[in-house]
Structure 1
Amino acid sequence: MTDTRLAADTRPWRDAQARPFISIRGLSKRFGDFTAVDTVDLDIYRGELFCLLGASGCGKSTLLRMLAGFEKPSEGTVTIDGQDMSSVPPHRRPTNMMFQSYALFPHMTVERNVAYGLLREGMRKADAMERVAEMLKLVKLGHLARRKPDQLSGGQRQRVALARALIKQPKLLLLDEPLGALDKKLREETQFELIRIQETLGVTFIVVTHDQDEAMTLSTRIGVMSEGEIVQIGEPREIYETPATRHVADFIGSVNLIEGRVDVAAGDQMRIDTREAGPVLVSPRAGLSRGQTVWIALRPERIALSRSKPEGTANLHRVTVEDMGYMGYLSSYRIRLPSGRLLRASQSNRLRDEDPISWDEEVWASWQPMACRVLTE
């Protein structure tokens, strides 16, 4: 996806002098003996669509609730737009929060649901309805203004909740699993609608999700969380291509992890001795010593399969196809190395192949040294 929100040369997190819009320092939250969020430091910049990604129970929703003011930190500080939020109650913060359940009022029409917050604050009805009409036009629901929630689809209810969260013009919108109630196809369609709305309004979004594809599609940057800590922050491509740990590599996309020991570096390649895949040539990584235990992270799409033996390939194995699955745009394979180790491989179905590689075939599997990411933890 082309990122039109923040051009490459204006991404503020790449500028050491840029001032963050949200600054989190040493933030922790404990519930009795259980630490839900553990000493988090994080900067988020104005106009970002930042995703907190992690498995259930990793602390991402608790972190979001502390930003909103619904949970009080055990330690640490949160600053939004230069203001310390320590003593600011939720209703006084420049934030709004959208929950997975949407929490729409079933007895109210769409326009009344969206107008609710404005009317409660005492805005004149005519002014409120004018703003509501503009917001419903933005989320493409103007023609459904008089319907009630039970007359809407899941995606339409999601957009009503989004309009209600944005109508008060918060500086920061917090979204907790905003697409979790939608089916797969509708989720994919709604992701791009969410991006369009965020681009149009320029509001900073922080999205909590456990869905890696959703985070990769939506975000300017991703913070991967595990056991209350943020273990890596980066742009989607950086998180996928250069994971910092085995946990990140395994959580983001599909990956083969092969344990080995550093043998020798020669020129522009390094050899890793592995029990399961023999000697593997990789691109060198600084800071490694001979004999050190490492793990090679190899994405399935980096493994090439062919019936004919490729020439001049560094990492080459004769393998057996154990399983395969046709997924339309790609074919997914489980291949068995001579050692017995199963690897996952995938190939794009760009062309109609009348004789694709299939079950029980013996084929050649190969990958380039630069396809390997060497991890130390």
Structure 2
Amino acid sequence: MAKKPQLAADTRPWRDPGKKPFVRIRNVTKKFGDVAAVNDLSLDIYKGELFCLLGGSGSGKSTLLRMLAGFELPTSGTIEIDGQDMSQVPPYNRPVNMMFQSYALFPHMNVWDNIAYGLKRDHLPKDEIAARVAELLKLVKLDDYAARRPHQLSGGQRQRVALARALAKRPKLLLLDEPLGALDKKLREETQFELVKIQETLGVTFVVVTHDQEEAMSLATRIGVMNQGEIAMVGEPTEIYEFPNSRFVANFIGSANMFEGVVTEDEPDHVRIRSAELGSDIYVGHGVDCAPDQVLWYAIRPEKINLTRERPEGEANVVHGMVEDIGYLGDMSVYQVILDNGRRIRVTKTNVRRGDPDAIKWDEPVWCQWGDTSGSVLTN
């Protein structure tokens, strides 16, 4: 599920070197005792982005979010929001609001009062509060639920109430910690699109923390992949998936078959890699910045591999094996192929035809083949 393009390529602020970031994180470190939860991290986030911090448990993503909110202070480094240094600004004075994974709704208040709570605390005029709550109820499609209590709502509805409450004070920056984590898969997928539409409508900068790769790919204008307190890669979803910069990113985002090899031919327009792991040469149809005889890795996504009964043409990018297992997932089938040298690889195939009688079956001998620009060459 891909987020539809929002901006033409030449107007995306992160592609403009002269554009000023809305959030500037510079050399931020956060230590708990001797442990660095965030380590010398620098990151720019631009106005109007829906930016996802993606990482596993302990990667530092939630700690970074809490520092943006002001609930934690950096051990060293600086955080700026909209040009203002946040080091001495308490959480309640920051142009920021945070939506927690638990939603933290007041159970004794109805939907209307939950959304209005922060506005009442700020002593806004009653008519202004009423107008803003009505606007938000319409935005999150809960006009008819204003009088209900949280226990009378579904998980998806509670999530939207929490979002409306977080947006009520019109923050410049909204932080969302695993906002869809409590929803079931189908509702989560539906809500992802709703969240994107709301963000686009308001133009508020969102920073979302998630461990769910599909969620990050669906929501984000850009993704920051975190590992051990550091940013491993920042890029648009297509960049992160199609052009990973390391073995960690290639393995963390989606699924990848990874093979170690040695460069045997290095030309400006192509590279040939000999891989004992694969049992075949790999031909890459573009130049690679590497040294002669350098050991490197080649990552190929399962959907980029063609599975055939007949041997394809060519000597490189072709291996023979046998189908060991098949997983039917409805929209696609996942094939586990054991190669002649004993190595296993994963291949996926879209199920275009219903009940395809010609589909490759268990224990069939097969050839796996891919194009010369289908994979990524990784040097670390």
Q: In structure 2, what is the Cα distance between the partners aligned to 1:300 and 1:61? A: 31
* Contact 1:274-1:280 within 8 A present in 2 as well: yes
* Contact 1:313-1:367 within 8 A present in 2 as well: no
Q: In structure 1, what is the Cα distance between the partners aligned to 2:337 and 2:347? A: 7
Q: In structure 1, what is the Cα distance between the partners aligned to 2:378 and 2:313? A: 28
Structure 1 unpaired stretches of 5+ = none
Query: What's the offset of the Cα at 1:2?
Result: 5.5
Matching residue of 1:155 = 156
Which residue of 370, 373, 376 maps to 2:376? 373
Q: After the TM superposition, which segments of 4 or more aligned residues of structure 1 sit over 4 Å from their partners?
A: none
Query: What's the offset of the Cα at 1:315?
Result: 1.5
* Contact 1:320-1:361 within 8 A present in 2 as well: yes
Query: What's the offset of the Cα at 1:211?
Result: 0.5
Matching residue of 1:105 = 106
SS of alignment partner, residue 193 of structure 1 = helix
Q: Could you tell me which amino acid in structure 2 is paired with residue 324 of structure 1? A: I
Structure 2 unpaired stretches of 5+ = none
SS of alignment partner, residue 370 of structure 1 = coil
Query: What's the offset of the Cα at 1:316?
Result: 1.4
Q: Within 5 Å, which residues of 2 pair with 1:228-377?
A: 228-266=229-267, 268-277=269-278, 278-312=280-314, 314-352=316-354, 353-377=356-380
Q: In structure 2, what is the Cα distance between the partners aligned to 1:156 and 1:11? A: 32
Q: Could you tell me which amino acid in structure 2 is paired with residue 97 of structure 1? A: M
Query: What's the offset of the Cα at 1:258?
Result: 0.5
Matching residue of 2:47 = 46
Q: Could you tell me which amino acid in structure 2 is paired with residue 303 of structure 1? A: I
SS of alignment partner, residue 196 of structure 2 = helix
Query: What's the offset of the Cα at 1:158?
Result: 0.3
Deviations 1:107-154 (A, max 9, x none): 100011000000111123332122101101000001011000000000
* Contact 1:262-1:291 within 8 A present in 2 as well: yes
Q: In structure 2, what is the Cα distance between the partners aligned to 1:216 and 1:110? A: 31
Q: In structure 1, what is the Cα distance between the partners aligned to 2:283 and 2:339? A: 16
Query: What's the offset of the Cα at 1:292?
Result: 1.1
Q: In structure 2, what is the Cα distance between the partners aligned to 1:4 and 1:116? A: 35
* Contact 2:24-2:80 within 8 A present in 1 as well: yes
Query: What's the offset of the Cα at 1:312?
Result: 4.4
Q: In structure 2, what is the Cα distance between the partners aligned to 1:337 and 1:4? A: 39
Q: In structure 1, what is the Cα distance between the partners aligned to 2:72 and 2:156? A: 29
Q: In structure 1, what is the Cα distance between the partners aligned to 2:176 and 2:43? A: 17
If the length of structure 2 is used for normalisation, what is the TM-score?
0.97
**Higher deviation after alignment, 174-183 or 128-137:** 128-137
Aligned CA RMSD, in angstroms, stands at: 1.2
Q: Could you tell me which amino acid in structure 2 is paired with residue 62 of structure 1? A: T
Q: How many residues align?
A: 377
Deviations 1:140-196 (A, max 9, x none): 001011000000000000000000000100000000000000111111000000000
Query: What's the offset of the Cα at 1:268?
Result: 3.1
Q: In structure 1, what is the Cα distance between the partners aligned to 2:218 and 2:3? A: 10
Percent identical among aligned pairs is 61
* Contact 1:314-1:367 within 8 A present in 2 as well: no
Matching residue of 1:192 = 193
Q: Could you tell me which amino acid in structure 1 is paired with residue 118 of structure 2? A: G
Query: What's the offset of the Cα at 1:347?
Result: 0.7
If the length of structure 1 is used for normalisation, what is the TM-score?
0.97
Q: In structure 1, what is the Cα distance between the partners aligned to 2:161 and 2:337? A: 47
Residues 267 and 17 (structure 1 numbering): CA distance in 2 closer, same or farther, change over 3 Å? Answer: closer
Q: Could you tell me which amino acid in structure 2 is paired with residue 98 of structure 1? A: M
SS of alignment partner, residue 200 of structure 1 = helix
Q: In structure 1, what is the Cα distance between the partners aligned to 2:205 and 2:318? A: 47
Matching residue of 2:169 = 168
